[in-house]
Amino acid sequence: MENPMPLPLELVLNVITNSLPKYPNVLLAPSHPITQTLLSFTLVCHETRRVANRYIRQYCVYLSSEARLRAFLLEIPNRPEIRNINSLFLAPFTGNTIDDLPTATWVRELFNYTCLNLKRLIIDIPLRSLYPENDHLAVRAILREGFQRLENLEELVSVRDELFLSITHHGGEPPVWRSWTKLRRLALYNVDADSYFWRNVGQMPTLETVVLTRADSLRDFNIKKEYFKYANRPLKVLLINVEEDQIRFSHLPRINWDKLDPEKKVTIMTYNVPCPFEEDDPIEICQEYVRIGAENGTIWEWEGEQIQHQPKISDIRVLTRITGPSTAED
Protein backbone atom coordinates (compact mmCIF):
# COMPACT_ATOMS: atom_id res chain seq x y z
CA MET A 1 0.00 0.00 0.00
CA GLU A 2 1.38 3.38 -0.96
CA ASN A 3 2.08 5.98 1.72
CA PRO A 4 -0.57 8.70 1.85
CA MET A 5 0.45 11.98 0.29
CA PRO A 6 1.22 14.57 3.01
CA LEU A 7 -0.96 17.64 3.11
CA PRO A 8 0.58 20.80 1.66
CA LEU A 9 2.06 22.97 4.39
CA GLU A 10 -0.17 25.89 3.40
CA LEU A 11 -3.24 23.75 4.07
CA VAL A 12 -1.92 22.66 7.47
CA LEU A 13 -1.24 26.28 8.45
CA ASN A 14 -4.76 27.16 7.33
CA VAL A 15 -6.08 24.48 9.69
CA ILE A 16 -4.20 26.16 12.56
CA THR A 17 -5.61 29.57 11.68
CA ASN A 18 -9.17 28.24 11.44
CA SER A 19 -8.89 26.67 14.90
CA LEU A 20 -8.28 30.04 16.58
CA PRO A 21 -10.86 31.78 18.78
CA LYS A 22 -13.47 33.90 17.05
CA TYR A 23 -12.51 37.01 19.03
CA PRO A 24 -8.93 38.33 19.23
CA ASN A 25 -8.96 39.24 22.93
CA VAL A 26 -9.72 35.79 24.36
CA LEU A 27 -7.53 34.10 26.97
CA LEU A 28 -7.67 30.30 27.02
CA ALA A 29 -6.96 27.95 29.92
CA PRO A 30 -4.44 25.10 29.41
CA SER A 31 -7.28 22.55 29.30
CA HIS A 32 -9.18 24.37 26.56
CA PRO A 33 -9.47 22.36 23.30
CA ILE A 34 -7.95 25.20 21.27
CA THR A 35 -4.94 25.31 23.58
CA GLN A 36 -4.52 21.55 23.26
CA THR A 37 -4.80 21.80 19.47
CA LEU A 38 -2.12 24.46 19.27
CA LEU A 39 0.16 22.42 21.52
CA SER A 40 -0.29 19.44 19.20
CA PHE A 41 0.77 21.51 16.20
CA THR A 42 4.03 22.45 17.97
CA LEU A 43 5.03 18.79 17.52
CA VAL A 44 4.33 18.47 13.77
CA CYS A 45 7.19 20.35 12.13
CA HIS A 46 9.34 23.44 12.45
CA GLU A 47 6.94 25.73 10.58
CA THR A 48 3.78 24.61 12.41
CA ARG A 49 5.66 24.91 15.71
CA ARG A 50 6.64 28.48 14.88
CA VAL A 51 3.08 29.48 13.95
CA ALA A 52 1.41 27.59 16.81
CA ASN A 53 3.81 29.06 19.36
CA ARG A 54 2.99 32.54 18.12
CA TYR A 55 -0.71 31.94 18.72
CA ILE A 56 -0.05 30.31 22.08
CA ARG A 57 1.74 33.48 23.17
CA GLN A 58 -1.25 35.49 21.96
CA TYR A 59 -4.11 33.45 23.43
CA CYS A 60 -2.84 30.93 25.97
CA VAL A 61 -0.49 32.49 28.52
CA TYR A 62 -2.55 31.33 31.49
CA LEU A 63 -0.40 31.22 34.62
CA SER A 64 -2.94 29.87 37.08
CA SER A 65 -0.51 28.40 39.62
CA GLU A 66 2.88 28.99 41.17
CA ALA A 67 4.22 25.98 39.23
CA ARG A 68 3.12 27.41 35.86
CA LEU A 69 4.60 30.80 36.70
CA ARG A 70 7.92 29.25 37.71
CA ALA A 71 8.02 27.03 34.59
CA PHE A 72 7.35 30.04 32.36
CA LEU A 73 10.21 32.01 33.93
CA LEU A 74 12.62 29.08 33.70
CA GLU A 75 11.88 28.74 29.99
CA ILE A 76 12.74 32.36 29.14
CA PRO A 77 16.55 31.86 28.95
CA ASN A 78 16.01 29.10 26.35
CA ARG A 79 13.18 30.85 24.51
CA PRO A 80 13.53 34.62 24.96
CA GLU A 81 10.74 35.23 22.44
CA ILE A 82 8.12 34.21 25.02
CA ARG A 83 8.75 37.50 26.77
CA ASN A 84 6.88 39.14 23.90
CA ILE A 85 3.38 38.44 25.18
CA ASN A 86 0.60 41.01 25.07
CA SER A 87 -2.11 39.16 27.04
CA LEU A 88 -1.85 37.33 30.36
CA PHE A 89 -3.99 35.62 32.98
CA LEU A 90 -2.23 35.52 36.34
CA ALA A 91 -3.32 33.65 39.48
CA PRO A 92 -0.13 32.19 41.01
CA PHE A 93 -0.97 32.24 44.72
CA THR A 94 -2.46 29.25 46.49
CA GLY A 95 -5.62 29.65 48.56
CA ASN A 96 -6.78 32.98 49.92
CA THR A 97 -3.48 34.57 50.88
CA ILE A 98 -0.43 36.07 49.19
CA ASP A 99 1.86 35.47 52.16
CA ASP A 100 4.49 33.96 49.84
CA LEU A 101 7.66 35.96 49.27
CA PRO A 102 9.18 33.71 46.56
CA THR A 103 6.02 33.80 44.43
CA ALA A 104 5.77 37.57 44.83
CA THR A 105 9.37 37.84 43.64
CA TRP A 106 8.58 35.68 40.61
CA VAL A 107 5.61 37.92 39.76
CA ARG A 108 7.92 40.94 39.84
CA GLU A 109 10.41 39.10 37.64
CA LEU A 110 7.65 38.15 35.20
CA PHE A 111 6.61 41.79 34.82
CA ASN A 112 10.23 42.87 34.40
CA TYR A 113 10.47 40.52 31.43
CA THR A 114 7.09 41.29 29.85
CA CYS A 115 6.41 44.96 30.65
CA LEU A 116 7.37 46.32 27.22
CA ASN A 117 4.77 44.24 25.36
CA LEU A 118 2.07 43.37 27.89
CA LYS A 119 -1.15 45.25 27.09
CA ARG A 120 -3.89 43.10 28.60
CA LEU A 121 -3.84 41.59 32.09
CA ILE A 122 -6.35 39.62 34.13
CA ILE A 123 -5.36 38.93 37.74
CA ASP A 124 -7.10 36.67 40.25
CA ILE A 125 -4.98 37.48 43.29
CA PRO A 126 -6.28 38.00 46.87
CA LEU A 127 -4.25 41.15 47.48
CA ARG A 128 -6.50 42.19 50.37
CA SER A 129 -5.37 39.12 52.31
CA LEU A 130 -2.33 41.08 53.53
CA TYR A 131 -2.75 44.34 55.37
CA PRO A 132 0.07 46.78 56.12
CA GLU A 133 -0.17 46.09 59.85
CA ASN A 134 0.44 42.36 59.35
CA ASP A 135 4.24 42.67 59.02
CA HIS A 136 4.15 41.40 55.45
CA LEU A 137 5.06 44.67 53.80
CA ALA A 138 7.90 43.06 51.84
CA VAL A 139 5.47 40.96 49.79
CA ARG A 140 3.24 43.92 48.99
CA ALA A 141 6.20 46.19 48.20
CA ILE A 142 7.66 43.64 45.79
CA LEU A 143 4.32 43.22 44.02
CA ARG A 144 3.77 46.98 43.83
CA GLU A 145 7.21 47.44 42.28
CA GLY A 146 6.42 44.79 39.68
CA PHE A 147 2.99 46.14 38.76
CA GLN A 148 4.36 49.66 38.37
CA ARG A 149 6.59 48.39 35.56
CA LEU A 150 3.61 47.76 33.28
CA GLU A 151 4.03 51.01 31.39
CA ASN A 152 2.24 49.86 28.23
CA LEU A 153 -0.77 48.17 29.84
CA GLU A 154 -4.08 49.06 28.21
CA GLU A 155 -6.54 46.72 29.98
CA LEU A 156 -6.68 45.43 33.53
CA VAL A 157 -9.24 43.20 35.23
CA SER A 158 -8.71 42.56 38.94
CA VAL A 159 -11.13 39.79 39.90
CA ARG A 160 -10.66 39.76 43.70
CA ASP A 161 -10.17 43.40 44.75
CA GLU A 162 -9.29 46.91 43.63
CA LEU A 163 -5.62 46.03 43.00
CA PHE A 164 -4.86 46.80 46.63
CA LEU A 165 -1.12 47.38 46.94
CA SER A 166 -0.81 50.03 49.63
CA ILE A 167 2.35 49.72 51.73
CA THR A 168 1.61 52.33 54.39
CA HIS A 169 -0.75 52.14 57.32
CA HIS A 170 -2.99 54.88 55.94
CA GLY A 171 -2.87 53.79 52.30
CA GLY A 172 -1.80 57.22 51.11
CA GLU A 173 -0.11 56.09 47.92
CA PRO A 174 -1.88 56.62 44.59
CA PRO A 175 -3.36 53.43 43.15
CA VAL A 176 -0.77 51.53 41.16
CA TRP A 177 -2.85 51.81 37.97
CA ARG A 178 -2.25 55.57 37.99
CA SER A 179 1.25 54.86 36.64
CA TRP A 180 -0.17 53.22 33.48
CA THR A 181 -0.61 56.23 31.22
CA LYS A 182 -1.88 54.13 28.29
CA LEU A 183 -4.65 52.41 30.27
CA ARG A 184 -7.96 52.39 28.38
CA ARG A 185 -10.06 49.85 30.28
CA LEU A 186 -10.15 49.16 34.01
CA ALA A 187 -12.22 46.60 35.95
CA LEU A 188 -11.96 46.43 39.75
CA TYR A 189 -13.73 44.58 42.54
CA ASN A 190 -15.12 46.24 45.69
CA VAL A 191 -13.42 49.58 45.12
CA ASP A 192 -14.26 52.52 47.39
CA ALA A 193 -15.78 54.77 44.72
CA ASP A 194 -15.24 58.00 46.64
CA SER A 195 -14.09 61.41 45.44
CA TYR A 196 -10.43 60.31 45.55
CA PHE A 197 -11.17 57.38 43.27
CA TRP A 198 -12.99 59.52 40.68
CA ARG A 199 -10.19 62.08 40.79
CA ASN A 200 -7.74 59.33 39.86
CA VAL A 201 -10.05 58.14 37.09
CA GLY A 202 -10.36 61.67 35.74
CA GLN A 203 -6.60 62.14 35.72
CA MET A 204 -6.00 59.07 33.53
CA PRO A 205 -5.46 60.54 30.05
CA THR A 206 -6.70 57.60 27.95
CA LEU A 207 -9.20 55.80 30.20
CA GLU A 208 -12.44 55.00 28.35
CA THR A 209 -14.23 52.29 30.36
CA VAL A 210 -14.49 51.58 34.09
CA VAL A 211 -16.18 48.39 35.32
CA LEU A 212 -16.87 48.30 39.06
CA THR A 213 -18.11 45.12 40.71
CA ARG A 214 -19.83 45.48 44.11
CA ALA A 215 -18.36 48.95 44.61
CA ASP A 216 -18.71 50.89 47.87
CA SER A 217 -19.69 54.57 48.43
CA LEU A 218 -21.97 54.78 45.38
CA ARG A 219 -24.69 56.38 47.50
CA ASP A 220 -22.33 58.97 48.96
CA PHE A 221 -20.70 60.63 45.96
CA ASN A 222 -22.01 62.27 42.81
CA ILE A 223 -20.00 60.43 40.15
CA LYS A 224 -20.35 63.05 37.42
CA LYS A 225 -19.62 65.92 39.77
CA GLU A 226 -16.42 64.27 41.02
CA TYR A 227 -15.27 63.12 37.56
CA PHE A 228 -15.81 66.43 35.75
CA LYS A 229 -13.63 68.24 38.27
CA TYR A 230 -10.65 66.62 36.54
CA ALA A 231 -11.74 65.56 33.05
CA ASN A 232 -14.08 66.39 30.20
CA ARG A 233 -13.71 63.17 28.22
CA PRO A 234 -16.32 60.51 27.42
CA LEU A 235 -16.39 57.66 29.93
CA LYS A 236 -18.39 54.45 30.24
CA VAL A 237 -19.07 53.26 33.81
CA LEU A 238 -20.61 49.83 34.41
CA LEU A 239 -21.78 48.98 37.93
CA ILE A 240 -21.95 45.19 38.39
CA ASN A 241 -23.75 43.38 41.19
CA VAL A 242 -26.41 40.79 41.89
CA GLU A 243 -29.86 42.33 41.56
CA GLU A 244 -30.59 42.19 45.29
CA ASP A 245 -27.52 44.30 46.14
CA GLN A 246 -27.54 46.55 43.08
CA ILE A 247 -27.62 50.32 43.57
CA ARG A 248 -31.08 51.75 42.94
CA PHE A 249 -31.38 54.77 40.69
CA SER A 250 -33.06 56.81 43.42
CA HIS A 251 -30.11 56.11 45.76
CA LEU A 252 -27.43 57.32 43.36
CA PRO A 253 -26.72 61.08 43.69
CA ARG A 254 -27.69 62.74 40.38
CA ILE A 255 -27.90 66.40 41.35
CA ASN A 256 -27.09 68.81 38.50
CA TRP A 257 -26.26 66.08 35.99
CA ASP A 258 -27.85 68.14 33.20
CA LYS A 259 -25.58 71.07 34.04
CA LEU A 260 -22.49 68.96 34.71
CA ASP A 261 -22.88 66.77 31.62
CA PRO A 262 -25.21 68.41 29.08
CA GLU A 263 -23.76 66.34 26.23
CA LYS A 264 -24.04 63.12 28.28
CA LYS A 265 -20.41 62.23 27.76
CA VAL A 266 -20.41 59.97 30.84
CA THR A 267 -22.63 56.90 30.58
CA ILE A 268 -23.39 55.09 33.82
CA MET A 269 -25.15 51.73 33.70
CA THR A 270 -26.11 48.98 36.14
CA TYR A 271 -25.52 45.36 35.16
CA ASN A 272 -27.12 42.55 37.15
CA VAL A 273 -25.30 39.22 37.49
CA PRO A 274 -27.63 36.19 37.50
CA CYS A 275 -27.85 34.52 40.91
CA PRO A 276 -29.90 31.33 40.39
CA PHE A 277 -30.11 30.14 44.00
CA GLU A 278 -30.63 32.04 47.25
CA GLU A 279 -27.85 30.12 48.98
CA ASP A 280 -25.26 31.24 46.39
CA ASP A 281 -22.61 33.58 47.70
CA PRO A 282 -23.02 36.87 45.76
CA ILE A 283 -19.30 37.61 46.15
CA GLU A 284 -18.26 34.35 44.52
CA ILE A 285 -21.00 34.63 41.89
CA CYS A 286 -19.87 38.11 40.83
CA GLN A 287 -16.16 37.31 40.86
CA GLU A 288 -16.61 34.16 38.77
CA TYR A 289 -18.89 35.96 36.32
CA VAL A 290 -16.40 38.80 35.82
CA ARG A 291 -13.46 36.40 35.45
CA ILE A 292 -15.24 34.42 32.73
CA GLY A 293 -16.27 37.62 30.95
CA ALA A 294 -12.70 38.88 31.08
CA GLU A 295 -11.27 35.63 29.72
CA ASN A 296 -13.86 35.60 26.94
CA GLY A 297 -13.04 39.20 26.12
CA THR A 298 -16.71 40.21 26.34
CA ILE A 299 -16.69 42.20 29.58
CA TRP A 300 -15.96 45.52 27.87
CA GLU A 301 -18.98 45.11 25.60
CA TRP A 302 -21.51 44.44 28.36
CA GLU A 303 -24.41 46.87 28.39
CA GLY A 304 -26.76 47.38 31.31
CA GLU A 305 -29.64 49.68 32.24
CA GLN A 306 -28.54 53.26 31.77
CA ILE A 307 -29.00 55.64 34.68
CA GLN A 308 -30.74 58.71 33.29
CA HIS A 309 -30.42 62.32 34.36
CA GLN A 310 -33.02 63.49 36.84
CA PRO A 311 -36.00 65.07 35.12
CA LYS A 312 -36.32 68.84 35.45
CA ILE A 313 -38.76 70.21 38.01
CA SER A 314 -40.82 71.84 35.25
CA ASP A 315 -41.10 68.49 33.43
CA ILE A 316 -42.23 66.77 36.64
CA ARG A 317 -44.97 69.40 37.19
CA VAL A 318 -46.26 68.99 33.63
CA LEU A 319 -46.21 65.19 33.95
CA THR A 320 -48.02 65.38 37.29
CA ARG A 321 -50.80 67.55 35.84
CA ILE A 322 -51.27 65.08 33.00
CA THR A 323 -50.98 61.76 34.82
CA GLY A 324 -51.43 62.63 38.48
CA PRO A 325 -48.90 62.12 41.28
CA SER A 326 -46.72 59.01 41.16
CA THR A 327 -45.06 57.12 43.98
CA ALA A 328 -42.99 54.88 41.75
CA GLU A 329 -39.22 54.81 42.21
CA ASP A 330 -37.39 56.69 39.42
pLDDT tens, position by position, 94-128? 888 888 999 999 999 999 999 999 999 999 999 98
Q: Are 100 and 127 in contact (CB under 8 A)?
A: no
pLDDT of residue 48: 83
pLDDT above 90: residue 171: no
Distance (Å) of CA 15 to CA 48, 52, 73: 10, 11, 30
Least confident range of 12-16, 29-33, 39-43, 136-140: 12-16
Domain boundaries, the chain: 10-60, 65-323
CATH code for the part of the protein at 65-323: 3.80.10.10
The one-letter amino acid code at 294 reads: A
Burial class (CB in 10 A: 0-12, 13-18, 19+), 204: buried
- Cα first-last separation, the chain: 79
What is the tens place of the pLDDT at every residue in 258-313?
999 999 999 999 999 998 887 889 999 999 999 999 999 999 999 999 999 987 66
- Look at the pTM and tell me if it is higher than 0.75: yes
Q: Report the phi/psi class of residue 131: left, alpha or beta, with left for phi > 0 and alpha for psi in -120 to 50.
A: beta
Cα-Cα-Cα-Cα dihedral of 35, 38, 40, 41, to 10°? 180
Q: Which run of H or E residues covers position 266?
A: strand 266-273
Cα-Cα-Cα-Cα dihedral of 188, 191, 194, 197, to 10°? -40
